[in-house]
Amino acid sequence: MNYKQGREQLIWNVRLDFDPVGIKFLSDESTISNFPVTHRVKSRLAYCQFLAAVRQERYALFMEPKKCLCENARLVFGFRELDREADTKRHLKYMMDEETSFQASKQKAKLASGSCKGIYMAPLDFFDKAGSEPDLVYIVCVPYQAYHLLNDYMGSRKIPGLSFFHTPNSSVCGGGIFAYNNMTANMTTMCAGSKTSGKTEMNYLNLFIPGKHILPMLEQQTMRAGDGGISLLGKGSRPWPGLDVCKACPMFKFEKIEEYPG
Nearest partner of 201 among 140, 150, 147, 123, judged by Cα: 140
Compute the radius of gyration of the chain from its Cα atoms.
20
Nearest partner of 32 among 119, 112, 138, judged by Cα: 119
Reduced to 3 states (helix: H, G, I; strand: E, B; else coil), residue 204 is coil
- Alpha carbons 71 and 36: distance in angstroms, whole number: 27
Model confidence pLDDT, tens digit, residues 87-97 = 999 999 999 99
pLDDT at position 234 is 72
pLDDT at position 200 is 86
Helix (H) or strand (E) holding 12: helix 3-14
Give the count of alpha carbons within 13 A of 4, CB side only.
5
Phi/psi class of residue 180: alpha, beta or left (left: φ > 0; alpha: ψ in -120 to 50)?
A: alpha
- Alpha carbons 130 and 5: distance in angstroms, whole number: 15
- More confident call, 199 vs 135: 135
> What's the pTM?
0.94
pLDDT at 232 over 80: no
Confidence of residue 251 (pLDDT cuts 50, 70, 90): confident
pLDDT at 262 over 70: no
Domain boundaries, the chain: 3-225
- Alpha carbons 105 and 127: distance in angstroms, whole number: 33
Average pLDDT of the chain is: 94
pLDDT at 41 over 80: yes
Arithmetic mean of pLDDT, 184-190: 97
SS3 content of the chain, % helix, strand, coil (to 5): 40, 15, 45
Q: Alpha helices, DSSP H only, in 115-256? A: 126-130, 143-157, 173-182, 192-196, 211-225
- Alpha carbons 79 and 73: distance in angstroms, whole number: 8
- Alpha carbons 41 and 61: distance in angstroms, whole number: 8
pLDDT at 261 over 70: no
Decide: residue 247, CB within 10 A, 0-12 exposed, 13-18 middle, 19+ buried: exposed
Residues 6+ apart with CB under 8 A from 205: 140, 141, 142, 143, 146, 187, 188, 189
Q: Cis bond leading into 241, ω under 30°?
A: yes
Arithmetic mean of pLDDT, 38-64: 97
Model confidence pLDDT, tens digit, residues 67-115 = 999 999 999 999 999 999 999 999 999 999 999 999 999 999 999 999 9
Model confidence pLDDT, tens digit, residues 158-172 = 999 999 999 999 999
Helix (H) or strand (E) holding 94: helix 84-95
For 58-86, the DSSP string reads ---EEE-GGGB--HHHHHHTTSS---HHH
- Alpha carbons 54 and 205: distance in angstroms, whole number: 17
Percent of the chain scored above 90 by pLDDT?
Answer: 82
